[in-house]
């Protein structure tokens, strides 16, 4: 196993197609479908109880979501077009072009969005300083004597990085997966060799992906849908802080983290169960890295400071201010450079699409669409007379199954969270547990398919796991998550006084 040193470029993907010319970013057929959906909804007569501009905003929103799902164009490009349409058609403030423009850009002033963007910038310091690689190798050295131990070690690396790197795709692609691939190859497990790919690679690839999803919902900043859900919940006066998310999610989420490697082990047992050479190889790689450099110490210190302030400083300083404070320290100490920030494309991309989606979701609520739709769906669910527990289970299971339609946790959250959350509140369900579970579902239920979340192409593209096994394991894990969050989560929330 060789050390995977931090770089400014993503790991090589041997299964990736050749880079397309810029013009190929836009797919005319997909774009036509998205536009067709928007036009069709726009032309439908406004339902009774709604204002026409609320219905027309829904048309723009649905066209954007459909375009994102079928990848008609880059998410950022579609978001820019959506902002332009919201401002140009004045659906946000009819007859007031200036106010329409202000509202269309309102997402860019959202503090939650800047918390996530700042975390992206800070995550660059983790990778470029080498701290992320060092942490991963330390976990391998501690837990790597068996294949099961390796799975837990790599998963704990992901967990330790998740509060500071809000992109689970960045954690997987930039740190955890390269080391996983190195371990597999050094153990003689080649994805291109039918006689060896199940030796260790199939198990670690499948576990690595699902552990990435499981750890992403432990912390508020573990994945973008967590913060997006909290922002939407705030529109209904349900407040979820960084510490509040951790308190509500920690127990059911960590049970999932602990069980994932065992479930995958039972369904896809590796041929090589002992890896006595892995800790020694990790130790050699750590020795090659040498002692911790100044940039690593600074980055580690900043992270510890941010965690302490996020947990205990909520009454003194906002979570976003803490992120900016950490970012400022990293910049002034040169642990992170302005050039690094400018090159962090994922952060700027997130700023654009997150702002647009949050803006449209918020305005759909402000203009009354969410309340109108929630009343209608709520009446149907209420007629089933399932009680509080039954209603909570029904709404969350339907929401989880909907992820088969999505290739992005963010798109799932943007499209459906507000509606399901509002229906749940109208039916008397507790706000914080509902918001946290609905916020976690678009990430953890990425397990269902080989396209369900950002890291999926990385691990599935490794060639170690066939499609049938991927979906089979994903289905079992999905059922397991439902049981965990309903059977363990609800008693935990009752104990906390949240239910």
What does the pLDDT look like over 355-393, one tens digit per residue? 887 788 778 878 888 678 767 776 777 778 788 899 899
CB of 488 within 8 A of CB of 255?
Answer: yes
Which value, in Å, is the radius of gyration of the alpha carbons in the chain?
23
State the pLDDT at residue 311: 63
CB 60 within 8 A of CB 88: no
Query: Of the ranges 187-201, 442-456, 464-478, which one carries the lowest mean pLDDT score?
Result: 187-201
Report the range of poorest mean pLDDT among 131-135, 159-163, 246-250, 478-482: 131-135
Alpha helices (H) in 216-318, listed in sequence order = 224-234, 242-267, 277-289, 294-312
pLDDT > 70 fraction of the chain, expressed in percent and rounded: 90
Q: Provide mean pLDDT across the span 426-443.
A: 93
pLDDT at 43: 95
Least confident span in 120-134, 253-267, 270-284? 120-134
* Most confident region among 87-96, 168-177, 186-195 by mean pLDDT: 87-96
Sign of CA dihedral 38, 42, 46, 50: positive
Q: What is the pTM of this model?
A: 0.66
Residue 467, burial from CB neighbour count under 10 angstroms (0-12, 13-18, 19+): exposed
**Angle at the Cα of 46 (from 54 to 410), degrees rounded to 5?**
45
Answer for the pair 385, 136: CB distance below 8 angstroms, yes or no: no
Distance CA 165, CA 126 (A): 8
Q: Dihedral, CA atoms, 445, 219, 74, 81, nearest 10 degrees?
A: 110
Count other C-beta atoms under 10 Å from residue 74's C-beta: 16
Q: Which has the minimum average pLDDT: 27-41, 150-164, 404-418?
A: 404-418
Higher pLDDT, 324 or 485: 485
Higher pLDDT, 430 or 119: 430
Q: Convert the pLDDT of each residue in 417-433 to its tens digit.
A: 888 898 888 888 999 99
pLDDT higher at 303 or 336:
336
Q: Tell me the average pLDDT of the chain.
A: 83
Percent of the chain with pLDDT over 90: 34
pLDDT confidence band for 1 (50 / 70 / 90): very low
Q: How many CB atoms lie within 10 A of CB 321?
A: 16
pLDDT tens-digit map of 4-17: 333 333 344 444 43
pLDDT at residue 28, rounded to an integer: 92
Residue (of 295, 75, 285, 271) closest to 188 by Cα position = 271
Higher pLDDT, 279 or 293: 293
Reply yes or no on whether the pLDDT at 22 is more than 90.
no
Q: What are the pLDDT digits (tens) for 44-55?
A: 999 988 899 999
Rounded Cα distance between 484 and 445, Å, is 13
The pLDDT, as a whole number, for residue 174 is 60
Q: What is the rounded distance in angstroms from the CA atom of residue 479 to the CA atom of residue 489?
A: 14
Residues in the chain: 499
Higher per-residue pLDDT: 257 or 323: 257
**For residue 368, is it left (φ>0), alpha (ψ between -120 and 50) or beta?**
left
* Phi-psi map region of 20: left, alpha, beta (phi>0 left; psi -120 to 50 alpha): beta
- The answer for residues whose C-beta is within 8 angstroms of residue 461's C-beta and 6 or more apart is 13, 15, 16
Residues whose CB falls within 8 Å of the CB of residue 88, separated by 6 or more in sequence, listed in order: none
Q: What is the pLDDT of residue 459?
A: 81
* 33, pLDDT greater than 90: yes
Asked whether residue 481 carries a pLDDT value surpassing 60, the answer given is yes
What's the CA angle centered on 212, arms 176 and 234, to 5 degrees? Answer: 130
Looking at residue 482, its pLDDT comes to 95
The predicted structure's pLDDT at residue 103: 94
pLDDT at residue 65, rounded to an integer = 80
Mean pLDDT of 93-98: 92
Of the listed ranges 75-84, 212-221, 352-361, the least confidently predicted one is 352-361
């Amino acid at each position: 196993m060789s050390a995977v040193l931090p770089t400014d470029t993503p790991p090589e993907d041997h299964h990736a197609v050749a880079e397309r010319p810029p013009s190929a970013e836009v797919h005319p057929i997909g774009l036509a479908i998205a536009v067709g959906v928007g036009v069709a909804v726009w032309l439908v007569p406004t339902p009774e109880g709604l204002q026409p501009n609320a219905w027309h905003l829904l048309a723009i929103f649905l066209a954007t979501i459909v375009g994102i799902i079928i990848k008609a164009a880059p998410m950022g490009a579609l978001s820019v077009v959506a902002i332009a349409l919201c401002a140009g058609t004045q659906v946000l403030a009819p007859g007031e072009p200036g106010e329409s423009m202000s509202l269309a850009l309102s997402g860019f002033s959202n503090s939650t969005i800047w918390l996530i963007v700042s975390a992206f910038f800070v995550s660059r310091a983790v990778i470029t300083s080498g701290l992320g690689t060092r942490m991963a190798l330390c976990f391998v050295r501690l837990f790597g004597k068996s294949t099961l131990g390796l799975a837990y070690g790599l998963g704990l690396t992901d967990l330790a990085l998740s509060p500071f790197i809000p992109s689970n795709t960045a954690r997987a692609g930039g740190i955890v997966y390269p080391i996983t691939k190195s371990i597999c190859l050094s153990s003689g497990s080649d994805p291109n060799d039918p006689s060896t790919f199940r030796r260790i690679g199939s198990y670690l690839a499948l576990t690595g992906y699902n552990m990435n999803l499981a750890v992403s919902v432990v912390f508020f900043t573990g994945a973008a849908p967590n913060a997006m859900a909290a922002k939407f919940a705030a529109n209904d006066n349900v407040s979820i802080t960084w510490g509040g998310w951790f308190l509500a999610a920690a127990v059911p989420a960590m049970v999932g983290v602990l069980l994932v490697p065992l479930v995958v082990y039972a369904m896809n047992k590796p041929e090589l169960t002992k890896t006595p050479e892995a800790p020694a190889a990790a130790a050699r790689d750590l020795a090659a890295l040498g002692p911790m450099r100044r940039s690593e110490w600074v980055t580690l210190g900043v992270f510890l400071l941010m965690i302490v302030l996020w947990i205990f400083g909520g009454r003194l300083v906002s979570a976003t201010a803490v992120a900016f404070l950490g970012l400022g320290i990293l910049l002034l100490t040169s642990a992170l450079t302005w050039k690094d920030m400018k090159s962090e494309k994922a952060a700027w991309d997130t700023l654009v699409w997150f702002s647009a989606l949050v803006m449209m979701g918020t305005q759909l609520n402000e203009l009354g669409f969410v309340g109108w739709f929630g009343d209608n769906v709520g009446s149907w669910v209420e007629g089933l007379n399932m009680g509080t527990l039954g209603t909570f289970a029904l709404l969350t299971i339907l929401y989880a199954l909907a992820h088969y339609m999505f290739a992005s946790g963010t798109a799932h959250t943007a499209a459906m969270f507000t509606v399901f959350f509002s229906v749940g509140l109208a039916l008397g369900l507790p706000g914080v547990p509902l918001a946290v579970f609905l916020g976690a579902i678009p990430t953890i239920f990425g397990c269902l398919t080989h396209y369900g979340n950002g890291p999926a192409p990385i691990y599935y593209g490794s060639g170690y796991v066939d499609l049938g096994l991927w979906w089979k394991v994903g289905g079992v894990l999905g059922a397991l998550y439902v049981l965990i969050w309903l059977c363990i989560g609800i008693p935990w929330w009752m104990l906390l006084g949240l239910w």
